[in-house]
Structure 1
Amino acid sequence: MRHTCRGTINLATANISVEDSCNFVISNGGAQTYHLKASSEVERQRWITALELAKARAVKMQAESDDSGDEDPTSQTDKAEVHNTLRALSGKVEDLGTCNDLIAKHGTALQRSLSELESLRLPQDSSDKIKQVNERATLFRITSNAMINACRDFMSLAESHSKRWQRALQHERDQRLRLEETLEQLAKQHNSLERAFRGATVLPAQTRAGVPKDPCGGGKGDLSDEDDENEFFDAPEIISSPSQDCLGHKRSGSNISAASCDITEEQVRPPSEDARKERRTRIPHKPNYSLNLWSVMKNCIGKELSKIPMPVNFNEPLSMLQRLTEDLEYYTLLDRGAQCESALEQLCLVAAFTVSSYSTTVFRTSKPFNPLLGETFELDRMEDCGYRSLCEQVSHHPPAAAHHADSRNGWSLRQEIKITSKFRGKYLSIMPLGTIHCIFHNSGNHYTWKKVTTTVHNIIVGKLWIDQSGEIEIVNHKTGDKCKLKFAPYSYFSRDVPRKVTGEVMDVSGHVHYRLSGTWDERMECTPVRPENEADKSPEKEILLWRRNPLPKNAEYMYYFSELALSLNAPEEGVAPTDSRMRPDQRLMENGNWDEANSEKQRLEEKQRIARRKREAEREKVGSDDSPVDSYKPLWFERKMDPVSKEITHIYCNTYWDAKEKQEWSGCPDIF
């Protein structure tokens, strides 16, 4: 192999030894040692023979490479380029030699003149000065001769090593091309193997049984099998599908206790079923477009992904503001929490709500649209669900969105989320920054927490899959109660349930009252902790806090959207002109017109850049050096100090819904 990989031993210098009938060892003198085991003595001897022959060839090639560079052919262009460089260097050295001859000639004449001056009868001071000048002239001539000799040595060395330079240059080019080709071949082979596996196991079973596709399943959504020439991944397909017990459960689970939190699931069900039926339940199916992922991503390694223009082929037809609003899908957990008399039981429901916001990410491997600065999204579900929500993109670099939601059932939620992301080659890390606040009006309990890190694996080779990892601390700032949740990262060697979440709910003194367990994609349960001195030693029963809703029918063809997500981008009258529903590129993409959507996306981004340059020019005219570079001010949120978290954040101004009632949108920027 011309190129190296992680952990290699050069066969030319390797030591190959046999341990026993099946084991053998390859080492390079101590730095690296490989212990290998064959299935039989015959197979071990075949390996030893092949390795010894390869070692002999490697030693011979190394010797020939040291003696001559003819065995590695290079392109005519590279040869001509190196020879031209050598000719130019030779010309420069000849010029230096000519200059050296002139220096020697004039130096000799100078020394002769100085010697003649020394023979004259001059004062003692003058004679000493002339002798000093003569010595310096001699030193100058010696130095110039040494310089020319060094230049000749350099030319001789350059000519002797020119072929090695050519090989090194060509080696680097070949290595880069080989890496790209290898990755592409691996991706194609991986997809072929997966299709072969599905064809051999899954499809015949379906045909025999005649069972329709499971709307919750994640393994039947391969929309791009027909054309794999440039297909590097298949976003809809996920490693595992959720368990079947999610079917038939339309709302979150039972209460914590009948005494203090006795609101039932029927009581929190939306009262207006007619209003729910009017909301759309399907969107156009995702087109079967292929995309060379590596051609786009290979230049993004280590960079901030939000600053890299990406085609809509990677997107889903929702903006980040709409995706943020999806945190409210299991709002009934907060409705139930508002009815709880116990702050600790309320904290359990808040913890379940926190985990529920990740439930759809196990399927959703496409990225949402980055909102334009000033873009908004409203969701008014006051009539059927009792809440309404508003999001606004308040900053572009770094990207930040402010969100505020109010419910007539006695709670409000607000947050400002800044998304930072890094592409690491094999995976993409997404780190949401910012604090989420949940306030219950009757009790005055004020909870805060932060989000965990989301990791997208198999960016280049294989099927994309998403994992959540990290810890969340939910704090009740009124009582001092805390809940610590731990999202366990996926491990191939772990025997734990994948996507496992565990936690403890404790009071201000640190005494644990509830233990939480479950998975972030399926369900959460809590178990009361008995005091140590209590006589009853029977185990406490687990109480279901939350269960994920089943996905709609044919969700695998509709970006794995939930029932709520399908309705978010439906056209709606009366919303602000900056609403995400008005985005032309997002609408074109949803309708399947991806080429037009990419062109429109570029137009909107350039319009946004022009607006920013205009703001910067206006700032320079004013001459204000104290203000930030981008002096943009949000329309519906105000930047101020949060009284609880002591962070500078954007807080809702309570003006949007009045403006909507009056249809007064004159202050909205022209962003579309």
Structure 2
Amino acid sequence: METKIVLSRPLSLERQSDQETNYKAPNILRRILSLFKNVRPGSDVSCFKLPPEFNMPKSELQCYAECVYSTALDILSNLNGGKTPLDRLISVVAWTISAVRPLWFGVAPYNPTLGETHHVSKGNLNVLLEQVSHHPPVSALHATDSKENIEIIWCNSTVPKFTGTSVEAHVHGKRELKLHNHGETYEMNSPNLLIRIFPVPGNDWFGNVTIRCIETGLVAELSYISQSFFGFGTNRRLIKGKIFDSLSKKILCKIEGHWDSTVTVKNTDNAEVRVIYDAKEVISGLQAPVVKDLERVWPTETVLVWNKLSEAILSKDWEKAKEAKKSIEERQRELHRERESKGENWVPKHFLVSCSKEKGWNCSPIEKWVPNAPIISL
């Protein structure tokens, strides 16, 4: 019997109301409040187990990957086109903004299992992720474009905490984008996620992001500004920032806009303003990846690990979904007990991983280039 693979559409600009209806449990707000009734404010909820009614049919690993491989315009390959270091940094800023996607309130992706992977290709871009730690949850990403000579390395460690009226998920870990043709490395961090329960339910990205080119000394600072507590005002999905020379401290550009619509950059020398990012062009109309070669799909591939659960969620068969999720969790506990009994430590297959109090988590890819994948992003 041929395996039916469930691959859901990427998170994109459209609300995808039909899909949201499929995933959401009835009386969603009341049920969310019941989940947190015994959780104290300030608690770390990274290991919080959600019933499948509150899951979207994809892993968090896939959500991270979509930020890199799923765009309507190939803005990544355009990064090499800038004639000056400033031009290239502005393009990197636009690409970084494209990695921020709208989320649906009331549903969350699966917590990836230890060793889970996601391997997808789009044109010359090959993307590979691996869950390198489960407690705490840490995801590693490596993406390479051999034609453009571009490399991306991410290490994501998310710490969600319940505040009493919301969940604040702080995303830790270094992100690097390397333009090898220009000998430039851009280091950056991620904004944080706010899941507001009261008084106005919704999701938003917030916090400060710094993008620094090590070789040129140019720096971009971005602020993602969330709505006010009561949801009033025009700050929804607002982004503001500047680009400056870290040596002279001179401000070269100012950045302003909304990450779900358009973002502009203003040159401080000549006051010229231009649009550098249009969300409608980049993250709308996105399609689900397709499996081109099932035999080459690794057993650890996220779409295989969670396939039965995703299928049950889409069909709203909640009893089957509970059984599928329970089976996955029990299998993970069984593997953990086996390792403990043998005195073995789990070792990632695709990354060298280290962690220290000073530098946090660091994930270095073992291979120089990511191979072509059997799953293709359209």
TM-score range, shorter chain: 0.7 to 0.9
Shift of the alpha carbon at 1:585?
Answer: 1.7
Structure 1 residues 126-137: aligned runs within 5 Å = none
Closer, same or farther: CA 523–612 of 1 in aligned 2, 3 Å: same
Query: AA paired with 2:187?
Result: T
Structure 1 residues 154-303: aligned runs within 5 Å = 221=17, 285-286=22-23, 289-290=26-27, 292-302=31-41, 303=43
Paired residues of 1:304 and 1:423 also in contact (CA < 8 A): yes
Quote the residue 1:511 is aligned against.
250
Paired residues of 1:300 and 1:308 also in contact (CA < 8 A): no
> Partners in 2 of 1:453 and 1:542 — Cα distance?
28
Quote the residue 2:4 is aligned against.
none
Write the deviation string for residues 254-295 of structure 1: whole angstroms up to 9, x where unpaired.
xxxxxxxxxxxxxxxxxxxxxxxxxxxxxxx54775563333
> Partners in 2 of 1:340 and 1:406 — Cα distance?
19
Shift of the alpha carbon at 1:635?
Answer: 1.0
Quote the residue 2:5 is aligned against.
none
> Partners in 1 of 2:165 and 2:93 — Cα distance?
31
Say whether 1:617 aligns with 2:356.
no
Quote the residue 1:477 is aligned against.
214
Structure 1 residues 80-479: aligned runs within 5 Å = 221=17, 285-286=22-23, 289-290=26-27, 292-302=31-41, 303-328=43-68, 329-330=70-71, 332-361=74-103, 363=104, 365-382=106-123, 386-407=124-145, 408-458=147-197, 464-479=201-216
Write the deviation string for residues 545-584 of structure 1: whole angstroms up to 9, x where unpaired.
1111379xxxxxxxxx9644x4147686121111011122
Shift of the alpha carbon at 1:445?
Answer: 0.8
> Partners in 1 of 2:192 and 2:349 — Cα distance?
30
Shift of the alpha carbon at 1:364?
Answer: 5.8
Shift of the alpha carbon at 1:217?
Answer: 6.7
> Partners in 2 of 1:656 and 1:515 — Cα distance?
36
Quote the residue 2:9 is aligned against.
none
> Partners in 1 of 2:109 and 2:264 — Cα distance?
30
> Partners in 2 of 1:502 and 1:446 — Cα distance?
23
Aligned length: 351
Closer, same or farther: CA 655–632 of 1 in aligned 2, 3 Å: farther
Which has the larger strand fraction?
A: 2
Paired residues of 1:474 and 1:482 also in contact (CA < 8 A): yes
> Partners in 2 of 1:516 and 1:655 — Cα distance?
34
Query: AA paired with 1:396?
Result: H
Closer, same or farther: CA 287–469 of 1 in aligned 2, 3 Å: closer
Q: Structure 2: any 5+ residue segments left out of the alignment? A: 1-11
Write the deviation string for residues 89-111 of structure 1: whole angstroms up to 9, x where unpaired.
xxxxxxxxxxxxxxxxxxxxxxx
Closer, same or farther: CA 372–502 of 1 in aligned 2, 3 Å: same
> Partners in 1 of 2:13 and 2:139 — Cα distance?
30
Q: 1:634 is paired with a residue of what secondary structure? A: coil
> Partners in 2 of 1:543 and 1:562 — Cα distance?
21
Quote the residue 1:546 is aligned against.
277
Say whether 1:654 aligns with 2:367.
yes
Paired residues of 2:240 and 2:257 also in contact (CA < 8 A): yes
Q: 2:128 is paired with a residue of what secondary structure? A: strand
Closer, same or farther: CA 576–589 of 1 in aligned 2, 3 Å: same
> Partners in 1 of 2:281 and 2:342 — Cα distance?
52
> Partners in 1 of 2:355 and 2:34 — Cα distance?
44
Write the deviation string for residues 42-90 of structure 1: whole angstroms up to 9, x where unpaired.
xxxxxxxxxxxxxxxxxxxxxxxxxxxxxxxxxxxxxxxxxxxxxxxxx
Quote the residue 2:8 is aligned against.
none
Paired residues of 2:140 and 2:351 also in contact (CA < 8 A): yes
Paired residues of 2:118 and 2:301 also in contact (CA < 8 A): yes
> Partners in 1 of 2:369 and 2:25 — Cα distance?
40
> Partners in 1 of 2:335 and 2:369 — Cα distance?
23
Q: 1:374 is paired with a residue of what secondary structure? A: coil
Q: 2:350 aligns with which of 622, 636, 639?
A: 636
Paired residues of 1:360 and 1:562 also in contact (CA < 8 A): no
> Partners in 1 of 2:328 and 2:359 — Cα distance?
35
> Partners in 2 of 1:417 and 1:436 — Cα distance?
8
Query: AA paired with 2:280?
Result: N
Q: 1:608 aligns with which of 329, 332, 337?
A: 332
Q: 1:332 is paired with a residue of what secondary structure? A: coil
Paired residues of 1:529 and 1:540 also in contact (CA < 8 A): yes
Q: 1:589 is paired with a residue of what secondary structure? A: helix
Closer, same or farther: CA 370–483 of 1 in aligned 2, 3 Å: same
Q: 1:611 is paired with a residue of what secondary structure? A: helix
Paired residues of 1:437 and 1:448 also in contact (CA < 8 A): yes
Q: 1:549 is paired with a residue of what secondary structure? A: helix
Structure 1 residues 487-506: aligned runs within 5 Å = 487-491=224-228, 496-506=234-244
Query: AA paired with 2:45?
Result: L
Write the deviation string for residues 333-373 of structure 1: whole angstroms up to 9, x where unpaired.
33222111211111111112222222323x46521111111
Paired residues of 1:338 and 1:410 also in contact (CA < 8 A): no
Shift of the alpha carbon at 1:468?
Answer: 1.8
> Partners in 2 of 1:349 and 1:365 — Cα distance?
33
Say whether 1:567 aligns with 2:291.
no
Using the size of structure 2 for normalisation, the TM-score is: 0.83
Quote the residue 1:174 is aligned against.
none
Paired residues of 2:23 and 2:56 also in contact (CA < 8 A): no
Query: AA paired with 1:484?
Result: E
Closer, same or farther: CA 586–655 of 1 in aligned 2, 3 Å: farther
Q: 1:307 is paired with a residue of what secondary structure? A: coil
Paired residues of 1:569 and 1:580 also in contact (CA < 8 A): no
* Identity over aligned pairs, percent: 23
Write the deviation string for residues 374-413 of structure 1: whole angstroms up to 9, x where unpaired.
110011112xxx3110011110000011001111223111
Q: Structure 1: any 5+ residue segments left out of the alignment? A: 1-214, 224-234, 237-284, 531-538, 552-560, 620-629, 662-672
Quote the residue 1:65 is aligned against.
none
Using the size of structure 1 for normalisation, the TM-score is: 0.48
Which structure ranks higher in relative contact order (CA pairs < 8 Å, sequence separation ≥ 6)? 2
Query: AA paired with 1:634?
Result: P
Query: AA paired with 2:365?
Result: Y
Q: 2:76 is paired with a residue of what secondary structure? A: helix
Paired residues of 1:488 and 1:501 also in contact (CA < 8 A): yes
Closer, same or farther: CA 300–570 of 1 in aligned 2, 3 Å: farther
Closer, same or farther: CA 510–656 of 1 in aligned 2, 3 Å: closer
Quote the residue 1:577 is aligned against.
299
Q: 2:212 is paired with a residue of what secondary structure? A: strand
> Partners in 1 of 2:309 and 2:362 — Cα distance?
30
Query: AA paired with 1:596?
Result: K
Q: 1:310 is paired with a residue of what secondary structure? A: coil
> Partners in 2 of 1:391 and 1:594 — Cα distance?
29
Paired residues of 1:440 and 1:446 also in contact (CA < 8 A): yes
Shift of the alpha carbon at 1:434?
Answer: 0.3
Which has the larger helix fraction?
A: 1
